[in-house]
Amino acid sequence: PAYAAPAPSQPGTNAPELAKLGSHAVGVRTLTFVDKTALDIVAFDPKTGQVPQHERPITVDVWYPATPAPGAHAETYSGRMDAEPPAPPTPFQIPGIAFRDAPFESGRYPLVIVSHGYGNATVGMSWLTENLASKGYVVAAIRHEDSYLNPASFPNAVVRRPLDISFVARELPKALGKEANLDASRTALIGY
């Protein structure tokens, strides 16, 4: 049934005018960065006032204007959402319009960083990320690895997320280099 449904980024006939897709084909790729000096907020020592540092991997899904190969097939996203215990996480699939690892379309594009909701997944917001990329934006959605069902992890998520967003904003232009021709001087943040 998931394959029969249109991609969520394709608006219906009754959608507002700005919901329409843009003129660009969309690519998607997944990058992993390592913040080598990430602060471990949960391990803060009140006696010494010290916050230990450790290496923190950060995975980012990136949507962008692309030039897909002829005959390429659009991505079908897979993810998992926390379920009510004791049930295991619930897997899901969402059809997309993006082409995995397609070459970047030439041009200079602003950056949009997406921070998904607590306990959500980046691909759960593909309706927005694909739409923005089709309109000429490079969209970087950070995979926040929050444990939604663990209340003790919420304070860490509140402190960690802004640090992760800043880290990705600094590292993504370097990682993509001239291939993306990213205009990081025009950066926006969207999220929950």
Start-to-end CA distance of the chain, whole Å, equals 29
Q: Residue 178's pLDDT band (boundaries 50, 70, 90)?
A: confident
In angstroms, the CA 134 to CA 128 distance is: 10
Q: Is the pLDDT of residue 41 over 90?
A: no
pLDDT value at residue 84: 81
Backbone angles phi, psi at 42, to 5 degrees: -65, -25
Rounded to the nearest integer, the mean pLDDT of the chain is 88
Least confident of 29-33, 108-112, 122-126, 140-144: 122-126
Helix, strand, or coil here: 63? Answer: strand
pLDDT value at residue 146: 67
Q: Which residues contact 135 (CB under 8 A, 6 or more apart)?
A: 21, 22, 24
DSSP secondary structure code for residue 18 in this structure: G
Q: Which residues contact 26 (CB under 8 A, 6 or more apart)?
A: 63, 64, 65, 66, 97, 98, 99, 130, 133, 134
Give percent of the chain above pLDDT 70. 92
Which amino acid makes up residue 169? A
Q: Which residues contact 16 (CB under 8 A, 6 or more apart)?
A: none
Pick 192 or 153 by higher pLDDT.
192
Q: Is the pLDDT of residue 1 over 60?
A: no
Q: What is the pLDDT of residues 65-89, one digit of tens each?
A: 999 999 999 999 998 887 888 888 8
Mean pLDDT of 158-166: 86
Q: Are 89 and 80 in contact (CB under 8 A)?
A: yes
Please name which of 73, 40, 62 lies closest in space to residue 133, comparing C-alpha atoms: 62
Which amino acid makes up residue 145? E
Mean pLDDT of 143-172: 80
pLDDT value at residue 119: 67
Q: What is the pLDDT of residues 104-117, one digit of tens each?
A: 999 999 999 999 77
Only one residue has tokens 């009140």, namely 46
Give percent of the chain above pLDDT 90. 53
Q: Residue 148's pLDDT band (boundaries 50, 70, 90)?
A: low
